[in-house]
Amino acid sequence: MESPGGYQLVGRTVPIWDKLSLGEHSPDTKPWLLSPFDQIEFYPVTEEEVDAFSEEMNAGKFKVDIVESVFDHGEYLEWIQENSKSIEEFQQRQG
């Protein structure tokens, strides 16, 4: 999995570095898929699906679902409050 700067990625995803700038997500030959402050949503797929998506991405044919949005800090704080118990339990397991 190629990425800018040699980042170590966790899990598997479609390529985020389009060195040939083939895809429609690469306006003006921008080879990177992600930008600072992007909010990313992951979903489970089979190994076969991620391999097929990666092939499509490398051929410039994979359509990335990009939705413009504004980060709502108040909404985020509400989410933190609503999930505080499970967050605390997770942090305790981390040690």
pLDDT score at 34? 80
Domain ranges of the chain: 4-70
The tens digit of pLDDT for each residue in 38-60 reads: 888 888 888 899 899 888 888 87
In this prediction, the residues of the chain whose per-residue pLDDT falls under 50 are none
Prediction pTM value? 0.54
CA dist., res. 90 & res. 66, Å (int): 30
- Residue-wise DSSP of 22-86: -STT-GGG--BS--TT---------HHHHHHHHHHHHTT------------HHHHHHHHHHTHHH
